[in-house]
Structure 1
């Protein structure tokens, strides 16, 4: 219960601060809480540093491309190459240090993918991502640091995977990202954006893991739970008086429930993906884009998660030690 309280406080404070600062995608601020929090203090600090560094790098690359190269074809090429190369590098690193590379690729996708569907303010979007990451990472680090024990053992030695396996993972991630981008161009709107985002991010997370079996088991169902919660959140937000004013308060209630799930030993794997997909699909704490848009995006996200998990189970490389 105390761990759940820590997570709720960190996520709730981060989201509230981001909303009060007027950040457009304030829900991003709560997302670092669920993944930066770690069982050991050294890992907590290292994850915090790597998340900030990776986000800064990905946001910078995305901003430079959008501002200086006004071409959808180039944006897609940068997105695909960035995801594939970063995915291969993260898989090859194979330790906690791969997290920074992973976040750079994810942030690049977050900045570039919306621009493939509609005009955006690249500077505002990139800055929004950076500020939200800083708020969320600082919040979870400060709140959980004193209650996180110090690691007494050392990290396991990193084994170099075969070059062919590393390349294969990078290609899988790159091709999946390309398919997501093409789906976005064909479908458009919330469903298209969610499809491209889900295929890119899921392929990066699963494709960079040395042992993706647990992720393949928990991520699709956890994502479905998160999307269901997001749709319920948006429906309640619209039904209650003054829905815009209630958005933050209602989001805190859902975050409290998510913190309990994330802190539960057996439900924690589902809790991670459910919380992340809830925040992303619901755009929690903000006015949102209407229930229909959230349903479309959520359904597309769930379908993409199950589809990629099924395909990767067949074609993915065997787990590496």
Structure 2
């Protein structure tokens, strides 16, 4: 069996199992459980295991930090300040580490963002979506996704044939500080926008406005990520809207919804598994899950489409910011 086909089946099975388990447990955001599948899977077994461990550890650390901040009950302005410090520090530390070990720091920052920014925006929420419930939901979904992807892909993932080459240490502290400033600044901008316009679609864009600078700031070389960013986001947003358009008329027929979901997950797994499309597939699958909110149907098609537009716009802004801040145009 070709390697890409085998990996497609593995990723599909892991994502489907994670989504089904989260849905069966009644978690508020079951689509979160499928997200680790697309990022924890690695080419070599050592990296797979380390990513799985760090995904859980980073999520727990980020949840603890964000809940501590919420417990102290600062004003929205001070909460935005601590959010900026948290995401900036996590991105800077991830860049400074510069290896697979950096993933835990990065994920802790993402978790802080996911828990705090919706609270800062003052969006109405029911009891299932309080900050504490969001943190617990994220922890459980992370555990489910990590267990599923590790259990399914571990037997088929080879050992690394040789150790990684040591990383160049020159200028690392200066570059880390630069990334801290960039991500903290983007978090401040996102918080200000979210406070001024407390809407779901705006919140989706504000999240993206922080997430992608964090991703690219954490990477030793963000150029490959930057090149696949916009195509992946566009595919994911369009797929999410198409999924909702296909499933909303099927609200009374769970079996047909499951079949449609299977088709989209299989397509996403194929895109992520093929060597030529793997980077685009990563962004596409993550954006698809965010826009479609698979398993929740919390928002209508119009709201989801607006959120997709906000997400894509924020991704474009992130692209421009990274291109002309961390990278010189001539290096791309």
1:120-172, CA deviations, whole angstroms, 9 ceiling, x for partnerless residues?
51221110000000000000000000000011200221222422222111101
Uncovered stretches (5+) of structure 2, i.e. residues with no partner: none
CA contact (8 A) 1:14 1:139 kept: yes
How far 1:176 moved relative to its partner? 1.1
- 2:235 equivalent to 1:231: no
Alignment of 1:201-212 (within 5 A): 201-212=211-222
How far 1:60 moved relative to its partner? 1.3
SS in 1 for 2:151: helix
Uncovered stretches (5+) of structure 1, i.e. residues with no partner: none
How far 1:100 moved relative to its partner? 0.3
Could you say which residue in structure 2 is the equivalent of 1:145? Answer: 154
Q: 1:216 aligns with which of 220, 226, 246?
A: 226
How far 1:266 moved relative to its partner? 0.5
- 2:314 equivalent to 1:314: no
Report which stretch shifted further, 264-273 or 112-121.
112-121
Could you say which residue in structure 1 is the equivalent of 2:43? Answer: 39
How far 1:243 moved relative to its partner? 6.5
Alignment of 1:66-105 (within 5 A): 66-105=70-109
State the superposition RMSD in angstroms: 1.8
Report which stretch shifted further, 240-249 or 128-137.
240-249
User: Under a length normalisation based on structure 1, what TM-score does the superposition of the two structures give?
Assistant: 0.95
Could you say which residue in structure 2 is the equivalent of 1:127? Answer: 136
- 2:190 equivalent to 1:180: yes
How far 1:286 moved relative to its partner? 1.7
C-alpha distance in 1 between matches for 2:280 and 2:139: 27
C-alpha distance in 1 between matches for 2:230 and 2:101: 25
How far 1:232 moved relative to its partner? 0.5
1:11-33, CA deviations, whole angstroms, 9 ceiling, x for partnerless residues?
00000000010000000000000
Could you say which residue in structure 1 is the equivalent of 2:263? Answer: 253
C-alpha distance in 2 between matches for 1:134 and 1:44: 15
How far 1:247 moved relative to its partner? 4.5
Change (3 A) 1:182 1:62: same
SS in 2 for 1:159: coil
Alignment of 1:6-21 (within 5 A): 6-21=10-25
Could you say which residue in structure 2 is the equivalent of 1:292? Answer: 302
1:227-275, CA deviations, whole angstroms, 9 ceiling, x for partnerless residues?
1000001111112252677554432221111001111111111101000
Could you say which residue in structure 2 is the equivalent of 1:158? Answer: 167
In the alignment of these two chains, the number of paired residues is 320
CA contact (8 A) 2:31 2:289 kept: yes
CA contact (8 A) 1:52 1:134 kept: yes
Alignment of 1:28-67 (within 5 A): 28-67=32-71
The ranges of structure 1 where at least 4 consecutive aligned residues each deviate by more than 6 angstroms after the TM superposition are none
- 2:145 equivalent to 1:136: yes
How far 1:64 moved relative to its partner? 2.0
